Structure 1
Amino acid sequence: MTRKYRLNLKQALFIMLVAAVGFSGCKKYLDVNQNPNNPENVDPTFLLPTTQAAISQVVGNSFQVFGNIWAQYWTQSPLASQYKSIDQYSPTNTDFDNPWLNLYRVALINDDMILKSPKSSANLNGIAYVLKAYTFQLATDAFGDVPLSQALQPTVYRNPKYDTQQAVYDSIFVYIHKALPLLNATGDASLGAQDMIFQGNMTQWVAFANTLELRAYLRLSNVDPATAQAGIAALYATKPAFLTTDATITYTATGGNENPLYNEMVSPVLAQTQNVVASSTIVKAFTQNNDPRLGKFFTLFIDKVAPVDSLESIPQGSFLDYPNKKVSPPSPLVGGEADNPASATAPVKLISAAESYFLQAEAVARGWAAGDVTALYDAGITASFAATGAGDPTTYINGLPALTTASVNDKVKAIITQKYYAMCGFQGFEAWTEWRRTGYPTFFAITAHSLIDPGQLPLRMLYPSSELTSNSSYPGTVPIYKPVWWGLPNP
């Protein structure tokens, strides 16, 4: 029986430190462009969990907080203060130092060491290319133009240039196409427990790569629909398998091995303070739909009777208007309840099965792929109900407008809106990203005490202060209300 490999970030960084010292002797082992002089001196399988742990730290913690607040699932609690600036659309550059470090100076640099190692297997290199594509997509979707072509080259170690988002997306497809034949190679020893996501299952990695490629092409639906359509047609010509199960990293209740968000919430700094609570934006939407997932994504107060009435929320960003009000927190299912140890075991979802089905449904709805749009749409909803334990979705699905006679735009709107519901708490960054791409759902509210121009919503993250102070190629601060390359402007 294969044991799942679980690694906390401290352990991952220790592995990276040992590896870096072993083949470079350089104290600045975390630098984005540190030169791994002799990658042959480290077992590359040790670098895989390090890479995956760093990605999960970003997806499951910093991007989880920003995403869930800016997607209006969560808002700042009136009884705390940690995320007030995020909820008021006024983050600082320093807020993004940690995610940038984990993406560039841990995930990508260790991933690059795998690819440069002569000891690496075909399967391991295939995974590394997929993770490289995934990580660069995270970075460019968050920040816009980012270092790519010079990012991991020691000859330009100090000041890597910023490449355009279009160039980054071109590279994403290149990395995925390099990965697929390597993932399909036979005869390699199983990576087993060293692979925290699929435990060495190459069939699942192929499905992950295909699903990631579909996601990336659909991201271009507005900015470059011709490329998106042609790319999806070529993908479907290969008769691809897509994810039917969640791609996750799982955690335990053991100290240091908890869900990354919960691990931070119980740290001495936050001391189990409940900073994030239910936003009325999502609660109203779930309530209007009689959606049973509401009580799964948020913790209900036990002194109430009716399920809907027992959930307390406040309008987005209105923490100043409700002093001393107790508001429902995100549930342990998504790792968001600070004083509930069950939050420790919440998974970090890199791509969910629900997302996979909704991506396929959108490709069909746009006429870019063959398939049954209704069946795929229903499968996305069903996967979400199963993941939350919300019961049989038949009644919910039957209450939705049929897609069969809807226009293309109405089909896409329905698909993205249902994807938004499914991503609540689990995939906040991805939900916010899809809203930036499509404008759906259409019921977002301006935060109550915004500190930016009236009517504006956040459309990107700020470059970190570490780039401002250390990289002479730094392109300057871009306002958070300016859309990224593939994104829509503020409505």
Structure 2
Amino acid sequence: MKNYRRYKTKIAAAITAALMIGCTGDFEEINTNPNDPVVVPTSYLLTQAQRNTLAQQSYFTTNLYAQLFAETQYTNTSRYETEQASFDGFYQGPLADLQEIIDLNTNESTKESAEVLSSGSNANQLAVARILKAYNFQILTDTWGDIPYKDALLGMENLSPAYTPQSEIYTDLVSELKAAAAQIDAGAGVEGDVIYGGDMDLWKKFANSLLLRVGIRMSEANPDLAKDAITSALAGGVFENNDESAVFNYLSASVNSNPIYSHFHVSNRTDYAISNVLVNFMKGVSDPRLPVYANPTENSVEAGTPEYVGELYGVTQAQAGATTNASISFLGDYWKESPATAIIIMSYSEVLFIQAEAAARGWASGDAEELYNAAIEASLNYYGITDEDVINDYIAQTGVQFDAGNYKKSIGEQKWISLYAVGHEPWSEWRRLGYPVLSPAPAAVEGRGIPLRLTYATREYTLNAENVNEAVKRQAASGTLHMSDAVWWDE
């Protein structure tokens, strides 16, 4: 994008200079198209980048892999049929826009322009762009492993980027988030910010909270760096209540409604429901979030005995089709019937779960059990469950109480529930912690296990063969990359 814009500007300048010979002095004013600006306010790019960041997240695919959702008709995804997937949308969408913000705020010819400075101080724009780049790149590498990173986003300067090993990406994510948080200054907050409305104090907390996520994700693969990241994040300041959670605020208009509402009401599809795996788990511990996460079946409501029944997970298309829509529970009205419902990017509850695990590992101060209980309460509160008796009764159950002897199980199960419909996170945390114990889809294609990654699209092998083959060689002992090959932090 940046190279195209610069090329366009140079050509336009050359043509203008040639035509101005013998022309009147007001030629430029007369021939400037106000609807085709060469430079736009960076606030426009930020809004678009944030919106596209959420649009690229595979809510349905990754929640299917985590067995939180199930398919009602076409069960291909929950049976792990397709291994390959393209990551082009991330690079061409949010990452390209964020890189353009960085370029415009560092280029000497643009960083002092009105179009740039009207959108916030240079330092604050750079910080926000770097934080969101780190967020996107973590999703990318957690999904595909080694990806174009160090050589990415260079436009025409490098059309065949090398793939950076995931371990190196994680090291750089730690550095980037630390630097971005430190870069935030007292200047004007960013404009075009749908997440925090330009509140730079909250952006700093978001950067540190993401640093927590990065740290805990590599807790087994690189414990020293993980501990350093977590210690730094906590010292810098992380989310302290639900109001500080990072969420994307949608609008009621269908073009800007949340993706779950849009799927059911704009696209008019009914192919996803809450899974029987999650419904049965939540019923087993009388989870008060179930009426929020799901609607009772239509048949049970008509009979006057509301009941929650999850769709069978990972079965054949014929088996899924044998159950009628009226006999299963779809996603709750909170998402499905509310176009303006915000989608969580990172929650206060997640931050508390990470702190609980860090305390259990001896990497941070605080009582692991108290932090774990606070994480559950924060999740319940977020969904409007505030009755102390209800909360205390839920936490006191044998199946919910914190088990210090197996903290991974306690945290893994409750974190899994709390991350319902939160992008890639429930799948990533299940891979890392191994809890709850999930069985592969009963009708899995070729007897495959639950996916541990996605593999590279054919397009990569066609356009960047040497680099993608080198990445595959590093990651696959068999010489061919499959869904069953764990990413670096999960090995």
Q: Deviations over 1:447-471 (max 9, x none)?
A: 12111335x2111112234323322
Paired with 1:195 and 1:72, the residues of 2 have a C-alpha distance of 33
- Please, what is the CA RMSD of the aligned residues? 2.6
Q: Deviations over 1:85-129 (max 9, x none)?
A: 211111153xx33xx233111111111111121425211111111
Paired with 2:127 and 2:169, the residues of 1 have a C-alpha distance of 19
Equivalent pair of 1:403/1:411 in contact (CA under 8 Å): no
Q: Is structure 2 residue 430 aligned with structure 1 residue 430?
A: no
In structure 1, give the amino acid aligned to 2:200: M
| Aligned partner (choices 72, 76, 79) of residue 71 of structure 2 | 76
Query: What does residue 202 of structure 1 align with?
Result: 200
State the shift of 1:211 in Å.
0.7
Paired with 1:201 and 1:299, the residues of 2 have a C-alpha distance of 36
In structure 2, give the amino acid aligned to 1:177: K
Q: Quick one: structure 1 residues 275 and 116, their matched pair in 2 at CA, closer, same or farther if it must change by over 3 Å?
A: same
Q: Is structure 2 residue 100 aligned with structure 1 residue 113?
A: yes
Q: Quick one: structure 1 residues 239 and 208, their matched pair in 2 at CA, closer, same or farther if it must change by over 3 Å?
A: closer
Q: Quick one: structure 1 residues 102 and 323, their matched pair in 2 at CA, closer, same or farther if it must change by over 3 Å?
A: closer
Q: Is structure 2 residue 77 aligned with structure 1 residue 86?
A: yes
SS in 1 for 2:76: helix
SS in 1 for 2:485: coil
In structure 2, give the amino acid aligned to 1:204: L
Q: Deviations over 1:303-348 (max 9, x none)?
A: 4379996112233112432433122111232x3x4xxxx2422322
Paired with 2:314 and 2:401, the residues of 1 have a C-alpha distance of 34
In structure 2, give the amino acid aligned to 1:460: R
Q: Deviations over 1:339-396 (max 9, x none)?
A: xxx2422322110121111111111111100112222212211111122223421210
Q: Quick one: structure 1 residues 159 and 421, their matched pair in 2 at CA, closer, same or farther if it must change by over 3 Å?
A: same
State the shift of 1:243 in Å.
5.0
SS in 2 for 1:229: helix
Paired with 1:220 and 1:255, the residues of 2 have a C-alpha distance of 39
| Aligned partner (choices 60, 63, 88) of residue 65 of structure 1 | 60
Q: Which has the higher helix share?
A: 2
Normalising by the residue count of structure 1, what TM-score does the alignment of the two structures yield?
0.81
Query: What does residue 353 of structure 1 align with?
Result: 348
Paired with 1:153 and 1:22, the residues of 2 have a C-alpha distance of 13
Q: Which shows bigger deviation, 477-486 or 445-454?
A: 445-454
Paired with 1:394 and 1:222, the residues of 2 have a C-alpha distance of 32
Paired with 2:355 and 2:201, the residues of 1 have a C-alpha distance of 19
Q: Quick one: structure 1 residues 299 and 150, their matched pair in 2 at CA, closer, same or farther if it must change by over 3 Å?
A: same
Equivalent pair of 1:217/1:231 in contact (CA under 8 Å): yes
Paired with 2:373 and 2:46, the residues of 1 have a C-alpha distance of 35
Query: What does residue 240 of structure 1 align with?
Result: 237
SS in 1 for 2:488: coil
Equivalent pair of 1:366/1:412 in contact (CA under 8 Å): no
Query: What does residue 12 of structure 1 align with?
Result: none
Paired with 2:260 and 2:331, the residues of 1 have a C-alpha distance of 12
In structure 1, give the amino acid aligned to 2:395: I
Equivalent pair of 1:365/1:412 in contact (CA under 8 Å): no
Query: What does residue 145 of structure 2 align with?
Result: 144
Paired with 2:95 and 2:305, the residues of 1 have a C-alpha distance of 44
Paired with 1:311 and 1:351, the residues of 2 have a C-alpha distance of 28
Paired with 1:115 and 1:243, the residues of 2 have a C-alpha distance of 29
State the shift of 1:56 in Å.
0.7
Larger CA Rg, structure 1 vs 2: 2
Q: Is structure 2 residue 258 aligned with structure 1 residue 259?
A: yes
SS in 1 for 2:468: coil
Query: What does residue 283 of structure 1 align with?
Result: 279
Paired with 2:231 and 2:189, the residues of 1 have a C-alpha distance of 32
Query: What does residue 482 of structure 1 align with?
Result: 485
In structure 2, give the amino acid aligned to 1:452: E
Equivalent pair of 2:174/2:229 in contact (CA under 8 Å): no
Paired with 2:137 and 2:160, the residues of 1 have a C-alpha distance of 18
Q: Is structure 2 residue 413 aligned with structure 1 residue 417?
A: yes
Paired with 1:277 and 1:403, the residues of 2 have a C-alpha distance of 29
State the shift of 1:23 in Å.
4.3
Q: Quick one: structure 1 residues 448 and 51, their matched pair in 2 at CA, closer, same or farther if it must change by over 3 Å?
A: same
Q: Which shows bigger deviation, 168-177 or 476-485?
A: 476-485
Q: Quick one: structure 1 residues 283 and 176, their matched pair in 2 at CA, closer, same or farther if it must change by over 3 Å?
A: same
In structure 2, give the amino acid aligned to 1:257: N
Query: What does residue 471 of structure 1 align with?
Result: 464
Q: Quick one: structure 1 residues 457 and 389, their matched pair in 2 at CA, closer, same or farther if it must change by over 3 Å?
A: same
Aligned residues: 430
State the shift of 1:428 in Å.
4.7
Q: Which shows bigger deviation, 315-324 or 290-299?
A: 315-324
Q: Quick one: structure 1 residues 220 and 310, their matched pair in 2 at CA, closer, same or farther if it must change by over 3 Å?
A: same
Equivalent pair of 1:45/1:124 in contact (CA under 8 Å): no
Equivalent pair of 1:384/1:422 in contact (CA under 8 Å): yes
Q: Which shows bigger deviation, 213-222 or 39-48?
A: 39-48
Query: What does residue 365 of structure 1 align with?
Result: 360
Q: Quick one: structure 1 residues 24 and 371, their matched pair in 2 at CA, closer, same or farther if it must change by over 3 Å?
A: farther
Query: What does residue 15 of structure 2 align with?
Result: none
Equivalent pair of 1:217/1:228 in contact (CA under 8 Å): yes
Query: What does residue 386 of structure 1 align with?
Result: 381
State the shift of 1:189 in Å.
2.1
Equivalent pair of 2:209/2:233 in contact (CA under 8 Å): no
Q: Is structure 2 residue 300 aligned with structure 1 residue 297?
A: no
Paired with 1:384 and 1:308, the residues of 2 have a C-alpha distance of 27
In structure 1, give the amino acid aligned to 2:382: A
Q: Is structure 2 residue 213 aligned with structure 1 residue 220?
A: no
Q: Is structure 2 residue 397 aligned with structure 1 residue 399?
A: yes
In structure 1, give the amino acid aligned to 2:216: L
Q: Quick one: structure 1 residues 257 and 398, their matched pair in 2 at CA, closer, same or farther if it must change by over 3 Å?
A: same
State the shift of 1:301 in Å.
2.4
Q: Deviations over 1:230-259 (max 9, x none)?
A: 3323444x3523352321111122131111
State the shift of 1:405 in Å.
7.0
Paired with 2:206 and 2:289, the residues of 1 have a C-alpha distance of 26
Paired with 1:169 and 1:138, the residues of 2 have a C-alpha distance of 11
State the shift of 1:24 in Å.
4.3
Paired with 1:43 and 1:56, the residues of 2 have a C-alpha distance of 21
Paired with 1:191 and 1:262, the residues of 2 have a C-alpha distance of 29
Paired with 2:71 and 2:236, the residues of 1 have a C-alpha distance of 45
SS in 2 for 1:241: coil
Paired with 2:305 and 2:61, the residues of 1 have a C-alpha distance of 26
Paired with 1:416 and 1:299, the residues of 2 have a C-alpha distance of 25
- Please list every run of 5 or more consecutive structure 2 residues that lacks an aligned counterpart in the other structure: 10-36, 106-110, 117-121, 473-479
| Aligned partner (choices 29, 40, 46) of residue 44 of structure 2 | 46
Query: Runs in 1 of length 4+ with deviation above 6 angstroms?
Result: 305-309, 401-405
